[in-house]
Amino acid sequence: MRAWRFHRSVYHPFDTTGALTYGGRWNPRGVPVLYASLTYAGGLLELLAHASTPRRPPRDHMASLIDVPDDGGVAVLGPPYPGAWDHPDDYRTARDLAAPWLLSGQDLCLEVPSVPGTPVERNLVINARHPAFGELQLVETVGPVFDPRIWG
């Protein structure tokens, strides 16, 4: 499976420092995961959703296409979703949904809905503690093209 990872150019595409340090929608602080999108457009939409206010183009972000080993396993979180899973500031419900996947350690990836791309776009949360994490492969890295109409 392939996925797109948007990241600042100063970090390696497989660096989990941000999620480990701050936590995210699907992981608590202290748990190293990698966030990726199943499509380039979905990743760009996530980047836009997380841009600071006022909206400014991200400084030095890159997009890396990565190969995720098929034999690592993918758990899929599908609908129906409980209320507040997509709350903009309170991630407790989403973290509770992901907790069984993280605790089991069975599957490398958890496929989840993209909040800004619901109901179409999907993201991957990749468990850096899974043995297959070391098998991720970088296919290519490109500089995202930011259309000024988006950021204007």
Q: What is the pLDDT of residues 78-117, one digit of tens each?
A: 999 999 999 999 999 999 999 999 999 999 999 999 999 9
Q: In the predicted model, is pLDDT for residue 64 greater than 80?
A: yes
Cα-trace Rg, the chain: 15
Q: Which residue has the higher pLDDT, 48 or 148?
A: 48
The span from the CA of 16 to the CA of 130, in Å, is 13
Over residues 42-60, mean pLDDT: 79
**Residue 38 CA to its chain's centroid (Å):** 9
CA distances from 52 to 16, 30, 37 (A): 21, 24, 20
pLDDT of 54 reads 64
Q: What pTM, to 2 d.p., does this model score?
A: 0.93
The structural domains of the chain, with segments of one domain joined by +, span: 2-151
**If residue 117 lies in a helix (H) or strand (E), which one and from where to where?**
none
pLDDT of 33 reads 98
